[in-house]
Structure 1
Amino acid sequence: MSEKQRHFEMEPMSGEPVEVDGTYKNEWGREEKLERGQVFPADPMLGTTEWELTELDFDNHHKGHTDPRLVPKADDASNEASLKHPRGHIDRGDK
């Protein structure tokens, strides 16, 4: 997104519904974890304030452990050894 497009976007305001689960920060740096369907709260000092999404909250249905299939093995020649090339063949780095 270009800087010009971002300039015309407004952050959500207190009283508006939350559309995305995540952690939000207001103008004074107060962070709040909010879920979809809740309403952005007013700040005790500022009153109505803008809220910026700082971290998405994903529900991956697991306990937060990395999938063992994603951990590089000791015998891998490089991290790129098993990446698939967009055209369908495996790029092993040897040209």
Structure 2
Amino acid sequence: MSNNKNMNPFSGEEVETDGVYANEVGREETLKRGDVFPSDLTLGKTEWELVSLPLESQEAELYQNEAAENKQLRKHLDIGTRSPRNR
């Protein structure tokens, strides 16, 4: 009986930790938190295992697009306090 009781994630589940993942065939994929584990073209739904955590340079590349999206100007609308009209 195996001492390892961990269950690796399957295709279609959400990624919880940034890193490099490998499936049963050995295909490696760099995924970030919030992504969905992809299906394999030949196996279909497959199990994924965390192979390594991303290096700092790889981590910067993962979040490069999100950083650009956060730099857009935000619009501010100052309504102020309105008093009811006197009729």
The structure 1 residue matched to 2:35, chosen from 35, 38, 53, is: 38
C-alpha separation between the residues in 2 aligned to 1:30 and 1:17?
A: 18
Q: Whose radius of gyration is greater, 1 or 2? A: 2
Normalised by the length of structure 1, the TM-score is 0.55
Report percent identity of matched pairs. 54
Structure 1 runs, 4 residues or longer, greater than 3 Å off: none
The gaps in structure 1 that reach 5 residues or longer are: 64-95
Question: Residues of 2 paired with 1:9 and 1:24: CA distance?
Answer: 15
Q: Deviations over 1:41-88 (max 9, x none)?
A: 00011000000000101548xx9xxxxxxxxxxxxxxxxxxxxxxxxx
Judging by fraction of residues, say which structure has more helix: 2
The CA RMSD over aligned residues, in Å, is 1.9
Q: 2:11 pairs with 11, 14, 18, which one?
A: 14
Which structure carries more relative contact order (alpha carbon 8 Å, separation 6+)? Answer: 2
1:56 aligns with 2:53: yes
